[in-house]
Amino acid sequence: MFFRLLLPFLFLGLSIASSSAVCLTLSKLLPGQVSFPNSTIYDNAVASYFFVQERLTPNCMVRPDSARDVAVVIKQVETTDGAILSVRGGGHSANVGFANSNTGITLDLRSLNHISVNGEGNVTSVGGGALWSEVYEYLDERGLAVLGGRVGTVGVGGLLTGGGLSVFSPRLGFASNNVANMEVVLASGDIVNANATSNADLFAALKAGQNNLGVVTRFDLLSFKQGLYWGGGIVYAESAVSAQLAAFAEFKTPANFDPDAEIEQSFLYYKAKELRISSNNMFYSKPIVNVSSLRRFAQIQPQISNTMRISNSSDFSKEMSEAQPANLLGVWATTTFKSSLAGLQDVYRLWNSSVTELSSVDGLVSSLTFQAVPPVTGEDGSVDTFGLAPGTHPEKDLVICLIANWWSDTTDSARMLNGTKEFIAAVEKNTEAKGAKVPFTYLNYAASWQDPIQSIGEEQVKFVKKVAAKYDPNGVFQTKVPGGFKITRVSS
Ligand SMILES: Cc1cc2nc3c(=O)[nH]c(=O)nc-3n(C[C@H](O)[C@H](O)[C@H](O)COP(=O)(O)OP(=O)(O)OC[C@H]3O[C@@H](n4cnc5c(N)ncnc54)[C@H](O)[C@@H]3O)c2cc1C
Ligand SMILES: *[C@@H]1O[C@H](CO)[C@@H](O)[C@H](O)[C@H]1NC(C)=O
Ligand SMILES: *[C@@H]1O[C@H](CO)[C@@H](O)[C@H](O)[C@H]1NC(C)=O
Ligand SMILES: *[C@@H]1O[C@H](CO)[C@@H](O)[C@H](O)[C@H]1NC(C)=O
Ligand SMILES: *[C@@H]1O[C@H](CO)[C@@H](O)[C@H](O)[C@H]1NC(C)=O
Ligand SMILES: *[C@@H]1O[C@H](CO)[C@@H](O)[C@H](O)[C@H]1NC(C)=O
Ligand SMILES: *[C@@H]1O[C@H](CO)[C@@H](O)[C@H](O)[C@H]1NC(C)=O
Ligand SMILES: *[C@@H]1O[C@H](CO)[C@@H](O)[C@H](O)[C@H]1NC(C)=O
C-alpha cells in the first residue's frame, strides 16, 4: 500500500530529472533546436497549441529539422530510464497530454513541413509536421489535390487516425487509405519506409496507430489532377432546424448516395449571443453549382450567410479554419449510427437539451456535427478498414456524430467534460434502443475516455498489438510516450 501510494510520486520525480537530463544532452547534440522555459521560442511553442488545456510546460521543446534529428531524440529517450516524450504535429488535439506534457520532452514536428511532388504528379511528399493549409497551397498552384482535412490549421498527423473526411472521401475513402508510403523513425532510432511492399504490416497498422509505432517524418500521399470545385458554407437561423434534419436524412438515404458530394451539417450554440443556429459546410468535387444532391440544402431558408462558390482547397480550408473558435478550453467526442430522420431528430433534441443544461457556462460554444462515414477502400483486409467490414457500404447510410464544446474558465471544466460524456452516453442509449448503433468510433474525433482502437475489431486490435511488439519490442512508445490512445491498454 505504502509503495503503491509513493510510486507515482517517485516516478514523477524520476521522469522530470531524467527528462531534464535528456534536454541538456539534446541541446548539445542538436544546437539551436532545443528551447527551455521562459525563452521566447519555448513560450511561443506552448502558446501555439490550439486548445488552452494542452498548453502544458515540458522541460524542453525540441524542434527537429530532419528525420535524422528525430532519430537522435528518440535514441536519447529510449536509452534514458524515466524519460518522457510527447510528439506534437499540428497541435490540434483537444485530448490533454496527447501532444504535450508538464514533465517531459516535447518533440515539435512543425519544421518538418517540406512539400514536394514527383514528376508524374501522382505522389506528393509532405513532412510529418505539415499543416493541411500548407499542403493545399502547394497543390492548388499546380492543379493537384490529395485527400486531407477540411480545416487548414490541422496537422497531417491526423493521417495516423483516419486522416480527415475530405471532399474526395465519399469516392475514395479515408485520407489514411490514400497514402503510398510513410517514412518512420522507430523506437530503435532506425529510419524506415513503410508501404505496401516494404514493412507492409507496419504500413497497415500505422493508419490507425497514432503514435504507437513510431514517429512519421514524411507521408507520401497519392495525388491527382483537380480543378476548382463548388463548396463553402451556409448558416441558417434556428427556425431552419427541422428542414435541415429532413434534408440530411434524405441526403443519407442510400438511393441518393452521390460519390462527389460531401457535407458537414452542424448545429451550433453561442452563449455570448444566446444564439442557436445551424450550418452546412458542403462540397461537390466538380465545378457544378447547385448540383442536385446538394441543391435542397442551398434552398433552405432563412439563411444568415452563404459563401457557396467555385474555388479551391486552400481557400475552402482557410474559411473552415476561420470558423473555428480559438484560445478556449475544449473537448470533443464521437459516436456512429445508422441514419434515419427520427434518429437524427432524437440526437438533435438530446444535444439541444444538453446545451440548455450547460448554458450557464461562461463562453460556451457547442457544435453537433453530422458527417457521412466514407466507403471501405482498404482491400487488404487489415486495419486500414478501421473495423468497417470489406464488402459493406457504410458510406450509404452511416453517420459520424461529433460533439465539440468550447468554454473559457477551468472552473467549468469538470462540468463540461461530464456534460459531454453524458451527451454521448444518451445518444448511444438512444441509438442502441433503436438498433441503429454502430461500434465504429472515428479515431480522429475520439475523446480520451473513449476506446476507438477497440472499435476496429478484435482481430485488428491483435494485429496492431503484434506489429507494435515487433517494431517496438521494449515498448518505448507505450511507456515513454504516454500521450495518445495506447494499444497495450486496449483489451482484446
Ligand atoms: C471541430 C473539429 C474539426 C476537425 N477538423 C479536422 C480536419 O479538418 N482534418 C483532420 O485531419 N482532423 C480534424 N479534426 C481531428 C483532429 O484535429 C485530428 O485528430 C488530428 O489528430 C490532429 O492532428 P495534429 O497533427 O494537429 O494533432 P496533434 O495534436 O499534434 O497530435 C495528435 C496525436 O497524433 C500524434 N502525432 C501527430 N503527428 C504525428 C507524427 N508525425 N508521428 C507520430 N505521431 C504523431 C501525437 O503524438 C498526438 O498523440 C477535427 C476535430 C474537430 C473536433
Ligand atoms: C518562468 O517565469 C515564471 C514567471 O516569471 C517563473 O515563475 C518561473 O519560475 C520561471 N520558470 C523557469 C523554469 O525559469
Ligand atoms: C504514377 O504514374 C506513373 C506513370 O503513369 C505510374 O507508373 C505509377 O505507377 C504511378 N504511381 C502511383 C503511386 O500511382
Ligand atoms: C486557389 O489557390 C491559390 C494558391 O493557394 C490561391 O492563391 C488562389 O487565389 C486560390 N483561389 C482560386 C479561386 O483560384
Ligand atoms: C517502399 O519502401 C522501399 C524500401 O525503402 C522503397 O524502396 C520503395 O520505393 C517504397 N515504395 C514506395 C511506393 O514508396
Ligand atoms: C443556386 O441556387 C440558389 C438558391 O436556390 C439561387 O439563388 C442561385 O441563383 C442558384 N445559382 C445558379 C447558378 O443556378
Ligand atoms: C432548443 O431548446 C430551446 C430551449 O429549451 C428551445 O427554446 C428551442 O425551441 C429548441 N430548439 C428546437 C429547434 O427545438
Ligand atoms: C453529470 O451530468 C449529468 C447529466 O447532465 C447530471 O445529472 C450529473 O449531475 C452530472 N454530474 C456531475 C458530477 O456534474
CA of 34 to the centre of ligand 2 (A): 17
Task: Please tell me the distance between residue 182's alpha carbon and the centre of ligand 5 in angstroms.
Answer: 9
pLDDT for residue 5: 47
Probe residue for ligand 7, chosen from 352, 354, 360, 364 as the CB with the greatest number of ligand atoms within 8 Å: 352
Helices 292-299, 241-251: axis angle to 10 degrees equals 170
- Phi, psi values for residue 389, rounded to 5°: -65, 135
Radius of gyration of the chain (CA): 22
In sequence order, which residues have a C-beta less than 8 Å from that of residue 312 and are 6 or more positions away?
136, 140, 228, 229
| 425, 419 contact by CB (below 8 A) | no
Q: Where are the beta strands (DSSP E) in 376-463?
A: 398-407, 437-438
Q: Closest Cα partner for 411 from 367, 360, 376?
A: 360
121 lines ligand 3 (CB under 6 A): no
The dotted CATH code for 115-226 is: 3.30.465.10
Nearest residue CA, atom 2 of ligand 4? 140
Question: Atom 12, ligand 2: which residue's CA is nearest?
Answer: 37
Q: How far is the CA of 139 from the centre of ligand 5 (A)?
A: 23
pTM: 0.95
HSE-CB for 131 with a 13 A CA cutoff:
18
Residue 309: its H or E element: strand 309-311
Domain edges within the chain: 27-108, 115-226, 229-452
* Domain 27-108 class, CATH top level: alpha beta
User: What does 94-161 look like in DSSP terms, one character per residue?
Assistant: -STTSS--SSSEEEEGGG---EEE-TTSSEEEEETT-BHHHHHHHHHTTTEE----SSTTSBGGGGGG
Smallest-distance ligand from the CA of 353: 7
Instruction: Give the list of residues 6+ apart from residue 32 with CB closer than 8 angstroms, or none.
Output: none
Query: What atom in ligand 4 is closest to the CA of residue 310?
Result: 13
Pocket lining: 448 vs ligand 5, CB cutoff 6 Å: no
Q: Are 27-108 and 229-452 in the same CATH fold?
A: no
For a substitution probing ligand 1, which of 84, 93, 111, 126 has the most ligand atoms within 8 Å of its CB? 93
pLDDT of res. 424: 98
The CA-based angle 171-151-285, given to 5 degrees, is 30
Is the distance from the beta carbon of residue 56 to the nearest atom of ligand 3 less than 6 Å? no
CA pair distance 100, 105, nearest whole angstrom: 8
Q: How far is the CA of 395 from the centre of ligand 3 (A)?
A: 27
Query: Is the beta carbon of 486 within 6 A of some atom in ligand 1?
Result: no
pLDDT for residue 164: 83
Nearest protein Cα to ligand 8, atom 10: 418
Show the cell assigned to 178: 490514400
Alpha-carbon gap, residue 308 to 217, rounded angstroms: 36
Kind of pairing, strands 85-88 and 115-117?
Answer: unpaired
Helices 241-251, 341-358: inter-axial angle, 10-degree rounding: 140
pLDDT of residue 10: 53
CA of 69 to the centre of ligand 5 (A): 21
State the amino acid at position 405 in one-letter form. N
Q: Do residues 452 and 446 touch, judged by C-beta distance below 8 A?
A: yes
Eight-class DSSP state of 454: G
Measured between alpha carbons, how far is residue 66 from residues 34, 56, 252, 328 in Å? Answer: 14, 25, 44, 32
Protein residues whose CB sits closer than 6 Å to any atom of ligand 4:
137, 140-141, 228, 311-312, 314-315
Q: How far apart are the first and last CA of the chain?
A: 29
Burial class (CB in 10 A: 0-12, 13-18, 19+), 201: middle
Phi/psi region, residue 417 (left: phi>0; alpha: psi -120 to 50; beta: rest), is: alpha
Q: What is the pLDDT of residue 385?
A: 67
Ligand 1 and 110: CB distance under 6 A: no
- Which residue out of 19, 38, 59, 102 has the highest number of ligand 2 atoms within 8 Å of its CB and is therefore the one to mutate? 38
Burial-class residue 180 by CB neighbours within 10 Å (0-12, 13-18, 19+): middle
Q: Longest Cα pair distance anywhere in the chain, in angstroms?
A: 69
Give, using CA atoms, the residue closest to atom 9 of ligand 4. Answer: 315
Q: How far apart are CA 175 and CA 169, in angstroms?
A: 7
Compute, in angstroms, the gap from residue 290 CA to the centroid of ligand 6.
6
3-state secondary structure of 264: strand
Q: Which among 424, 490, 449, 448 is positioned nearest to 51, based on CA atoms?
A: 448
Give the angle subtended at the CA of 114 by the CAs of 113 and 120, to the nearest 5°: 135
Per-residue confidence (pLDDT) for residue 419, from 0 to 100: 98
Going from the Cα of 226 to the center of ligand 3, the distance in angstroms, rounded, reads 16
Give 81's DSSP letter. T
Q: Is the dihedral of CA 37, 38, 42, 43 positive or negative?
A: positive
C-alpha span between 112 and 102 (Å, rounded): 23
Return the SS3 of 400. strand
Q: What is the CB < 6 Å shell around ligand 2?
A: 37-38
**Dihedral sign (CA 211, 217, 220, 221):** positive
Kindly give the pairing relationship between strand 191-195 and strand 144-145. unpaired
- What CATH number does the domain located at 229-452 have? 3.40.462.20
Using DSSP bridges, classify how beta strands 34-35 and 60-62 pair: parallel, antiparallel or unpaired. antiparallel
Tell how far the Cα of 236 is from the centroid of ligand 7, in angstroms: 15
pLDDT in tens, the chain (492 residues): 344 444 445 556 677 789 999 999 999 999 999 999 999 999 999 999 999 999 999 999 999 999 999 999 999 999 999 999 999 999 999 999 999 999 999 999 999 999 999 999 999 999 999 999 999 999 999 999 999 999 999 999 999 998 889 999 999 999 999 999 999 999 999 999 999 999 999 999 999 899 999 999 999 999 999 999 999 999 999 999 999 999 999 999 999 999 999 999 999 999 999 999 999 999 999 999 999 999 999 999 999 999 999 999 999 999 999 999 999 999 999 999 999 999 999 999 999 999 999 999 999 999 999 999 999 886 554 556 688 888 889 999 999 999 999 999 999 999 999 999 999 999 999 999 999 999 999 999 999 999 999 998 898 899 999 999 999 999 999 999 999 999 999 987
Residue 470 is predicted with a pLDDT of: 98
Sign of CA dihedral 101, 105, 111, 117: negative
Ligand 8 centre to CA of 266 (Å) is 24
Strands 191-195 and 179-185: antiparallel
Q: What's the confidence (pLDDT) of residue 361?
A: 98
Ligand 3 neighbourhood includes 123 CB (under 6 angstroms): yes
